[in-house]
Amino acid sequence: MSLNYVPDFSDPSLPTLEIGHPAIMNVRGEEVVIPEGLLEGGLRDLDALEGALLSEPPSRQTGLGLLRRIFSIVDRVGDRVASGMSCRSGCAACCRVMVATTRGESELLRDRIQKTPPPQRSGWNEAIRERNGLLEEISRRSDPPSDLTRLEGLIDTCESYERENRPCPFLGPDRMCQVYEDRPLLCRICWVLTDPKDCEPGEGPPVKFRTAVFQRAHELVGKISRHHFQDGRVSPIPYWFRDGNGIG
Protein backbone atom coordinates (compact mmCIF):
# COMPACT_ATOMS: atom_id res chain seq x y z
CA MET A 1 0.00 0.00 0.00
CA SER A 2 1.54 3.33 -1.07
CA LEU A 3 -0.61 5.60 1.05
CA ASN A 4 0.93 5.91 4.48
CA TYR A 5 -0.86 8.76 6.22
CA VAL A 6 -0.30 7.08 9.59
CA PRO A 7 3.29 6.00 8.93
CA ASP A 8 4.91 2.98 10.50
CA PHE A 9 7.69 4.95 12.15
CA SER A 10 10.48 3.12 13.93
CA ASP A 11 13.54 4.00 15.95
CA PRO A 12 16.34 4.53 13.39
CA SER A 13 18.71 2.51 15.58
CA LEU A 14 16.63 -0.62 14.94
CA PRO A 15 17.16 -3.02 12.00
CA THR A 16 15.96 -1.81 8.62
CA LEU A 17 17.16 -3.95 5.74
CA GLU A 18 18.36 -7.01 7.59
CA ILE A 19 16.74 -8.49 10.68
CA GLY A 20 19.28 -8.39 13.48
CA HIS A 21 21.62 -5.96 11.77
CA PRO A 22 22.81 -3.38 14.30
CA ALA A 23 22.79 -0.42 11.92
CA ILE A 24 20.74 1.21 9.20
CA MET A 25 22.04 -0.10 5.88
CA ASN A 26 21.21 1.08 2.39
CA VAL A 27 21.04 -0.92 -0.83
CA ARG A 28 24.74 -0.31 -1.45
CA GLY A 29 25.61 -2.02 1.83
CA GLU A 30 26.67 1.25 3.41
CA GLU A 31 25.81 2.17 6.97
CA VAL A 32 23.71 5.34 7.11
CA VAL A 33 25.30 7.39 9.87
CA ILE A 34 23.01 9.62 11.94
CA PRO A 35 25.01 12.61 13.25
CA GLU A 36 25.10 12.72 17.02
CA GLY A 37 22.38 14.91 18.47
CA LEU A 38 20.56 15.41 15.15
CA LEU A 39 17.39 13.56 16.08
CA GLU A 40 17.42 14.68 19.71
CA GLY A 41 17.73 18.30 18.63
CA GLY A 42 14.93 17.94 16.12
CA LEU A 43 12.62 16.49 18.75
CA ARG A 44 13.43 19.30 21.19
CA ASP A 45 12.65 21.90 18.55
CA LEU A 46 9.38 20.22 17.64
CA ASP A 47 8.35 19.95 21.30
CA ALA A 48 8.99 23.66 21.70
CA LEU A 49 6.80 24.37 18.68
CA GLU A 50 3.85 22.50 20.14
CA GLY A 51 3.53 25.08 22.91
CA ALA A 52 3.42 27.87 20.33
CA LEU A 53 0.92 25.92 18.28
CA LEU A 54 -1.75 25.89 20.96
CA SER A 55 -0.95 29.13 22.76
CA GLU A 56 -2.00 31.34 19.83
CA PRO A 57 -5.64 31.84 18.77
CA PRO A 58 -6.58 30.19 15.45
CA SER A 59 -4.95 32.08 12.61
CA ARG A 60 -4.21 31.13 9.02
CA GLN A 61 -0.94 33.05 8.93
CA THR A 62 0.22 31.64 12.26
CA GLY A 63 -0.61 28.14 11.05
CA LEU A 64 1.32 28.61 7.83
CA GLY A 65 4.30 29.95 9.74
CA LEU A 66 4.31 26.97 12.09
CA LEU A 67 4.14 24.55 9.19
CA ARG A 68 7.17 26.16 7.58
CA ARG A 69 9.08 25.89 10.85
CA ILE A 70 8.20 22.21 11.17
CA PHE A 71 9.28 21.59 7.59
CA SER A 72 12.63 23.25 8.22
CA ILE A 73 13.28 20.88 11.14
CA VAL A 74 12.29 17.85 9.07
CA ASP A 75 14.48 19.02 6.18
CA ARG A 76 17.42 19.41 8.55
CA VAL A 77 17.24 15.67 9.21
CA GLY A 78 16.63 14.79 5.57
CA ASP A 79 19.55 16.88 4.33
CA ARG A 80 21.98 15.12 6.67
CA VAL A 81 21.00 11.59 5.62
CA ALA A 82 20.22 12.21 1.93
CA SER A 83 23.58 10.97 0.66
CA GLY A 84 22.87 7.53 2.11
CA MET A 85 19.47 7.19 0.48
CA SER A 86 18.51 5.88 -2.95
CA CYS A 87 16.50 9.04 -3.72
CA ARG A 88 18.08 11.40 -6.24
CA SER A 89 16.97 14.63 -7.88
CA GLY A 90 14.71 13.84 -10.82
CA CYS A 91 13.90 10.21 -9.98
CA ALA A 92 10.29 11.24 -9.16
CA ALA A 93 9.11 7.68 -8.49
CA CYS A 94 7.17 8.76 -5.40
CA CYS A 95 5.52 11.61 -7.33
CA ARG A 96 2.88 9.27 -8.78
CA VAL A 97 1.42 7.96 -5.51
CA MET A 98 -1.55 9.38 -3.62
CA VAL A 99 -0.18 11.83 -1.05
CA ALA A 100 -2.50 12.49 1.88
CA THR A 101 -2.34 16.15 2.92
CA THR A 102 -3.95 18.32 5.56
CA ARG A 103 -5.83 21.57 5.07
CA GLY A 104 -2.85 23.58 6.29
CA GLU A 105 -0.54 21.98 3.76
CA SER A 106 -3.05 22.68 1.00
CA GLU A 107 -3.10 26.35 2.04
CA LEU A 108 0.67 26.55 1.58
CA LEU A 109 0.19 25.19 -1.92
CA ARG A 110 -2.72 27.55 -2.55
CA ASP A 111 -0.53 30.55 -1.74
CA ARG A 112 2.17 29.21 -4.03
CA ILE A 113 -0.30 28.72 -6.87
CA GLN A 114 -1.78 32.19 -6.54
CA LYS A 115 1.68 33.79 -6.64
CA THR A 116 2.66 31.90 -9.79
CA PRO A 117 2.33 33.57 -13.24
CA PRO A 118 -0.86 32.70 -15.17
CA PRO A 119 0.70 30.47 -17.84
CA GLN A 120 2.06 28.12 -15.19
CA ARG A 121 -1.19 28.24 -13.20
CA SER A 122 -3.09 27.29 -16.34
CA GLY A 123 -1.01 24.15 -16.76
CA TRP A 124 -1.47 23.22 -13.11
CA ASN A 125 -5.22 23.84 -13.43
CA GLU A 126 -5.51 21.45 -16.34
CA ALA A 127 -3.52 18.73 -14.55
CA ILE A 128 -5.51 19.18 -11.33
CA ARG A 129 -8.84 18.85 -13.19
CA GLU A 130 -7.62 15.67 -14.88
CA ARG A 131 -6.37 14.10 -11.63
CA ASN A 132 -9.58 14.97 -9.80
CA GLY A 133 -11.62 13.38 -12.55
CA LEU A 134 -9.56 10.24 -12.14
CA LEU A 135 -9.90 10.33 -8.34
CA GLU A 136 -13.67 10.67 -8.58
CA GLU A 137 -13.86 7.81 -11.07
CA ILE A 138 -11.83 5.55 -8.78
CA SER A 139 -13.83 6.52 -5.70
CA ARG A 140 -17.10 5.60 -7.48
CA ARG A 141 -15.89 2.04 -7.97
CA SER A 142 -16.58 1.41 -4.28
CA ASP A 143 -20.09 0.87 -2.96
CA PRO A 144 -20.77 3.31 -1.43
CA PRO A 145 -18.25 5.63 -3.14
CA SER A 146 -15.08 6.24 -1.14
CA ASP A 147 -14.91 9.53 0.76
CA LEU A 148 -11.67 11.18 -0.35
CA THR A 149 -11.71 13.58 2.61
CA ARG A 150 -11.23 10.73 5.09
CA LEU A 151 -8.27 8.46 5.69
CA GLU A 152 -10.42 5.36 5.16
CA GLY A 153 -11.47 6.59 1.73
CA LEU A 154 -7.91 7.30 0.72
CA ILE A 155 -6.83 3.84 1.81
CA ASP A 156 -9.63 2.32 -0.29
CA THR A 157 -8.46 4.08 -3.44
CA CYS A 158 -4.69 4.57 -3.16
CA GLU A 159 -3.64 1.31 -4.80
CA SER A 160 -5.99 1.83 -7.74
CA TYR A 161 -4.70 5.37 -8.16
CA GLU A 162 -1.07 4.24 -8.12
CA ARG A 163 -1.75 1.69 -10.86
CA GLU A 164 -2.76 4.57 -13.13
CA ASN A 165 0.83 5.86 -12.87
CA ARG A 166 -0.14 9.55 -13.18
CA PRO A 167 2.41 12.10 -11.95
CA CYS A 168 1.60 14.79 -9.40
CA PRO A 169 0.10 17.91 -11.04
CA PHE A 170 3.12 19.87 -9.80
CA LEU A 171 5.76 17.61 -11.35
CA GLY A 172 7.46 19.34 -14.25
CA PRO A 173 8.48 17.83 -17.61
CA ASP A 174 12.04 17.63 -16.26
CA ARG A 175 10.74 15.34 -13.47
CA MET A 176 11.46 18.03 -10.90
CA CYS A 177 8.94 19.31 -8.34
CA GLN A 178 7.71 22.78 -9.30
CA VAL A 179 6.53 23.60 -5.76
CA TYR A 180 9.47 22.00 -3.96
CA GLU A 181 9.79 24.60 -1.19
CA ASP A 182 6.08 24.21 -0.33
CA ARG A 183 5.69 20.46 -0.81
CA PRO A 184 3.73 18.55 1.87
CA LEU A 185 5.28 16.70 4.80
CA LEU A 186 4.89 13.21 3.32
CA CYS A 187 6.88 14.31 0.28
CA ARG A 188 9.65 15.54 2.59
CA ILE A 189 10.00 12.31 4.55
CA CYS A 190 9.87 9.83 1.67
CA TRP A 191 13.49 8.64 1.90
CA VAL A 192 14.15 5.17 0.46
CA LEU A 193 16.96 2.82 1.52
CA THR A 194 16.37 -0.03 -0.92
CA ASP A 195 16.93 -0.38 -4.67
CA PRO A 196 15.32 2.49 -6.64
CA LYS A 197 13.55 -0.06 -8.84
CA ASP A 198 11.46 -1.01 -5.78
CA CYS A 199 9.68 2.33 -6.18
CA GLU A 200 8.43 1.55 -9.68
CA PRO A 201 4.89 0.30 -10.40
CA GLY A 202 4.58 -3.41 -9.71
CA GLU A 203 7.87 -3.57 -7.83
CA GLY A 204 8.87 -3.24 -4.20
CA PRO A 205 7.65 -2.21 -1.77
CA PRO A 206 10.63 0.00 -0.89
CA VAL A 207 12.01 0.17 2.64
CA LYS A 208 11.85 3.75 3.90
CA PHE A 209 13.93 5.59 6.46
CA ARG A 210 11.81 6.49 9.48
CA THR A 211 12.63 8.50 12.59
CA ALA A 212 10.87 9.78 15.69
CA VAL A 213 11.37 13.30 14.30
CA PHE A 214 9.20 12.46 11.30
CA GLN A 215 6.55 10.92 13.54
CA ARG A 216 6.45 13.96 15.82
CA ALA A 217 6.26 16.31 12.84
CA HIS A 218 3.38 14.28 11.42
CA GLU A 219 1.44 14.63 14.67
CA LEU A 220 2.01 18.39 14.83
CA VAL A 221 1.01 19.01 11.21
CA GLY A 222 -2.36 17.40 12.01
CA LYS A 223 -2.75 19.50 15.15
CA ILE A 224 -1.99 22.69 13.23
CA SER A 225 -4.77 22.01 10.73
CA ARG A 226 -7.26 21.22 13.46
CA HIS A 227 -6.37 24.27 15.57
CA HIS A 228 -5.41 27.00 13.09
CA PHE A 229 -7.54 25.93 10.11
CA GLN A 230 -10.41 24.31 12.01
CA ASP A 231 -10.24 21.35 9.64
CA GLY A 232 -9.20 17.79 10.50
CA ARG A 233 -9.72 16.29 7.06
CA VAL A 234 -7.06 14.73 4.85
CA SER A 235 -7.21 14.55 1.07
CA PRO A 236 -5.02 13.83 -1.96
CA ILE A 237 -3.20 16.96 -3.11
CA PRO A 238 -5.42 17.72 -6.15
CA TYR A 239 -8.65 17.15 -4.24
CA TRP A 240 -8.23 20.32 -2.18
CA PHE A 241 -8.49 22.28 -5.43
CA ARG A 242 -11.42 20.52 -7.06
CA ASP A 243 -13.80 22.75 -9.01
CA GLY A 244 -10.94 25.24 -9.39
CA ASN A 245 -11.43 26.44 -5.82
CA GLY A 246 -8.69 28.91 -4.93
CA ILE A 247 -6.56 28.34 -8.02
CA GLY A 248 -7.45 31.47 -9.96
| pLDDT for 2 beyond 80 | no
Which residues fall within 8 angstroms of residue 34, CB to CB, at 6 or more apart? 12, 24, 80, 81
Task: Establish if 219 belongs to a structural domain.
Answer: yes
**Dihedral angle, C-alpha 152, 193, 87, 94, nearest 10 °:** -20
Task: Establish if 9 belongs to a structural domain.
Answer: no
Tell me how many domains the chain contains: 1
Task: Establish if 7 belongs to a structural domain.
Answer: no
Task: Establish if 183 belongs to a structural domain.
Answer: yes
Burial class (CB in 10 A: 0-12, 13-18, 19+), 11: exposed
Cα 30 to chain centroid, rounded: 26
Task: Establish if 27 belongs to a structural domain.
Answer: no
pTM of the predicted protein model? 0.88
Which of the four pLDDT bands, split at 50, 70 and 90, describes residue 247?
low
Task: Establish if 4 belongs to a structural domain.
Answer: no
What is the tens place of the pLDDT at every residue in 30-63? 888 888 899 999 999 999 999 888 888 999 999 9
Report how far apart the first and last C-alpha atoms of the chain are (Å, whole number).
Answer: 34
What is the tens place of the pLDDT at every residue in 88-142? 998 998 999 999 999 999 999 999 999 999 999 999 999 999 999 999 999 999 8
Residue range(s) defining the domain that contains residue 143: 38-244
Q: How many DSSP H helices and E strands does the chain contain? A: 7, 2
**Dihedral angle, C-alpha 36, 37, 43, 47, nearest 10 °:** 180
Cα 110 to chain centroid, rounded: 16
What is the tens place of the pLDDT at every residue in 135-191? 999 999 988 999 999 989 999 999 899 889 999 999 999 999 999 999 999 999 999
| pLDDT for 222 beyond 80 | yes
Task: Establish if 145 belongs to a structural domain.
Answer: yes
Task: Establish if 23 belongs to a structural domain.
Answer: no
- Whether the CB-CB separation of 209 and 191 falls below 8 Å is answered with yes
